[in-house]
Chain A
Amino acid sequence: MKKAHLPLAICLACGLSGFAVYAHSAQAPKALTADATTKKIVEAADAFLATLSPEQRKAVSFAFTDTRQRANWSNLPSGLYRRAGLKMGDLTEAQQKAAQMLLQGILSKQGYQKVTDIVNGDEYLRQNDRMGERLNFGKAEFYLSFLGKPSQTSPWMFQFGGHHLAINATVVGKNITLAPSLPAAQPAKYTLGGKTIQPLGREMTKGFALVQALTPDQHKTAVRAPYFIDLMLGPGQDGKTLAPEGIPGSQLTNPQKKLLMDLLGEWIGNLNDDDAAPKLAEAKANLDKTYFAWGGPTTTGSAAYYRITAPTVLIEYSPQRMGGDGTNHTHCIYREPSNDYGAKLTSPQ
Chain B
Amino acid sequence: MTTAQSLPLLSSLLAFCALPALAHPRDELGQASYVGITPSSVTIELSLTPGEQLVAPFAALAAKPDYPQRVLTDLCLSLDGKPLMLNLLPKPLTTGEQSTKLYFSAPLVSLSGGKHTLRFENHHTPLKSAYLAATLAGTDGIQIGQQTHDATQQTLTVAFQAPNHEWNLTLWLVGAGLAGCLIYARKRRR
Contact = CB atoms under 8 A, between A and B. Distances in A.
Nearest to B99: A236
Contacts of A337: 137
B134 A236 contact: no
Interface string A53-88: 000000000000000000110111000111000000
A235 B136 contact: no
B22 A80 contact: yes
A22 interface: no
Interface string A237-248: 100111111000
B47 interface: yes
A20 interface: no
A177 B134 CA distance: 25
A344 B63 CA distance: 38
A229 B153 contact: yes
Nearest to A320: B24
Contacts of B49: 236
Interface stretch (B7-15, B67-75, B105-113, B143-151): B143-151
Interface residues of B, number: 28
Contacts, number: 70
A143 to B, nearest CB: 14
A321 B28 CA distance: 11
Contact of B136 (A82, A236, A241, A321): A241
B162 to A, nearest CB: 14
A230 interface: yes
Interface residues of A, number: 28
Contacts of B30: 230
B96 A236 contact: yes
A243 B135 contact: yes
A322 interface: yes
Contacts of B96: 71, 236
Given A227-B151, A240-B34, A81 B22 contact: yes
Contacts of A331: 24
B52 interface: yes
Given A80-B22, A241-B136, 10 more contacts: A71-B96, A74-B97, A81-B20, A230-B30, A232-B32, A235-B98, A240-B136, A242-B135, A243-B144, A244-B137
23 contacts: A75-B24, A76-B23, A81-B20, A81-B22, A81-B97, A224-B147, A225-B149, A229-B132, A230-B32, A232-B32, A235-B98, A236-B47, A237-B32, A242-B136, A243-B135, A243-B136, A243-B138, A244-B144, A245-B134, A320-B25, A321-B24, A321-B25, A331-B24
Interface of A: 71-72, 74-76, 80-82, 224-225, 227, 229-230, 232, 235-237, 240-245, 320-322, 331, 337
Ranked 10 nearest A-B pairs via Cβ: A243-B144, A241-B137, A322-B25, A80-B22, A243-B135, A322-B24, A236-B99, A236-B96, A243-B137, A232-B134
